[in-house]
Amino acid sequence: MSEENNKKPTRREFIHIATTAVGAVGAGCIALPLVTQMNPDASVKALAKVEVDISKIEKGNEVTIMWRGKPIFIRRRTDEEVQKAREVKIEDLKDPQKDQERVKKGKDEWLVMVGVCTHLGCVPLKQQGEFGGWFCPCHGSHYDISGRIRKGPAPVNMEVPNYEFVSDTKILIG
């Protein structure tokens, strides 16, 4: 072995290594609380998901709930409304999307969507407009019974949030 491999660090090198290690640990101790305080608090996390009892919603009716500060439309569509939504020609739509893509498989009667017009963020009126769905009176956007834009300045369909059926009578949004 050469002498360089057996050389012990000098006092000065040891002080540099120790100072660097203490500085790194100190920086971590300062940075951790700063990063942690940016995490959402418990009240915000509680709003991330909401469970809704849908057992009292009759066919042809809808309820509006608030989730993350936005209205959520939950509509229990009639068989006729589902059929009407399925008969629309995709090529006639501004934002082509089949009705089956907007609902959960096997739960066709339930439509869950963010009740905000995709033009400028107004809240559309239910059961109004030319297509039997929703109408935004602010600028004239018409949505059909599947929440798809059919007429007016809105560029895309109303958003469908992440949701799941946790039972036959409850859905979990978020």
Q: In whole angstroms, what is the distance from residue 111 CA to residue 28 CA?
A: 48
Q: Which of 16, 119, 139, 142 is catalytic?
A: 139
List, as one string, the DSSP characters of 4-54: TTTPPPPHHHHHHHHHHHHHHHHHHHHHHHHHHTTS--HHHHHTT-EEEE-
Q: In whole angstroms, what is the distance from residue 29 CA to residue 39 CA?
A: 17
133-140, long-range: CB < 8 A, 24+ apart? 134/73, 134/158
Q: In whole angstroms, what is the distance from residue 142 CA to residue 125 CA?
A: 10
Helix count and strand count (H, E) for the chain? 3, 10
Asked if 139 is an active-site residue, the reply is: yes
Catalytic residues: 139
